[in-house]
Amino acid sequence: EVQLAESGGGLVQPGGSRRLSCAASEFILSSYAMNWVRQAPGKGLEWVSVVSASGVGVYYADSVRGRFIVSRDSSRNTLYLEMNSLRDEDTAIYYCARRGSGRGFDLWGQGTPVIVST
Amino acid sequence: QSALTQPASVSGSLGQSITISCTGTSSDVGFYDYVSWYQQHPGKAPKLMIFDVTNRPSGVSNRFSGSKSGSTASLTISGLQAEDEADYYCNSYTGSDTLYVFGTGTKLTVL
């Protein structure tokens, strides 16, 4: 079955780091632009980052630029989000999402929660 | 890059039609035909309903349709069903360093 599965979430102290993973099944992740989207508790969706299919284009939301790094490992068919200097406001469920043939995100994982707290 | 503006809530009766608006600027919604819409039920991941303003992915009911006029995009749901009750979010490509922006979200209640 074509799917995405995030992992790596958990409780992190403010100022700490965490790496999230997003494993792709039944499709080649590097053939698509792949995104990270987050949702704080009780709040709306916030786009976080994207890596283009070529791997050359990497973009970030203003709120995470300079702190988060998106990458992928084609051999593992996995997308990553390295999160550094974490703040309370980074607390959210983090989803990975595939950009389909248009500019819609046509495939989403189930999400992994990140809680930044002492 | 500010979030796109959506009404906080809309409601409609079973069988009726509703429209959710999504207002951006001339730099995002008004410039690119790259608006998408997502449905999210509580505790679930979002689901793509419309992409590139008017296109429906395979498997999405034709009761869902999208349009755009100027800097405002719209999602219309006709023949409302109970399972349509959910949160809806629009999204636009921006072409800037912040490549995409979501709307503020709209809670749809089916009466």
Instruction: Give me the mean pLDDT over the A50-67 stretch.
Output: 95
A105 contacts B36 by C-beta, under 8 angstroms: yes
Written in H, E and C, the secondary structure of chain B is CCCEECCCEEEECCCCCEEEEEECCCCCCCCCCCEEEEEECCCCCCEEEEECCCECCCCCCCCEEEEEECCEEEEEECCCCHHHCEEEEEEEECCCCCCEEEECCEEEEEC
Q: Please determine, for residue B38, whether its predicted confidence score (pLDDT) is greater than 90.
A: yes
Provide the shortest C-alpha distance from residue A51 to chain B (in Å). Answer: 11
Q: Which residues contact A40 (CB under 8 A, 6 or more apart)?
A: A46, A89, A91, A92
Please provide residue B50's backbone torsions phi and psi, each rounded to the nearest 5 degrees: -145, 140
Question: What integer pLDDT is reported at residue B1 of this predicted model?
Answer: 79
**Across the interface, do B57 and A62 touch by the CB < 8 Å criterion?**
no
Instruction: Give me the mean pLDDT over the B105-109 stretch.
Output: 98
**Across the interface, do A62 and B98 touch by the CB < 8 Å criterion?**
yes
Which residue out of A32, A35, A38, A45 would a mutagenesis test of the B interface target, given it has the greatest number of B Cβ atoms within 10 Å?
A45
Percent of chain B at pLDDT > 90 equals 97
Instruction: Give me the mean pLDDT over the A6-35 stretch.
Output: 97
Q: Is A90 helix (H, G, I), strand (E, B) or coil?
A: helix
Instruction: Give me the mean pLDDT over the A87-112 stretch.
Output: 96
Q: Please determine, for residue A77, whether its predicted confidence score (pLDDT) is greater than 90.
A: yes
Q: What is the separation of C-alpha A19 from the centre of its chain, rounded to a whole number of angstroms?
A: 9
B17 contacts B80 by C-beta, under 8 angstroms: yes
Provide the shortest C-alpha distance from residue A73 to chain B (in Å). Answer: 22
B73 contacts B92 by C-beta, under 8 angstroms: yes
Using a CB-CB cut-off of 8 Å, the residues of chain B touching A103 are: 34, 36, 51-52, 93
Residues of chain B in Cβ contact (below 8 Å) with chain A: 1, 3, 34, 36, 38, 40, 45-48, 50-52, 55, 57, 87, 89, 91, 93, 97-105
**Across the interface, do B98 and A109 touch by the CB < 8 Å criterion?**
no
**What letter would DSSP give residue A89?**
G
Question: What integer pLDDT is reported at residue B40 of this predicted model?
Answer: 98
Structure tokens at B104: 């503020």
Residue in chain A lying closest to B87 (CA): A44
Q: Is residue A116 very low, low, confident or very high in pLDDT (cuts 50, 70, 90)?
A: very high
Judging by DSSP bridges, how do beta strands B35-40 and B86-93 pair with one another?
Answer: antiparallel
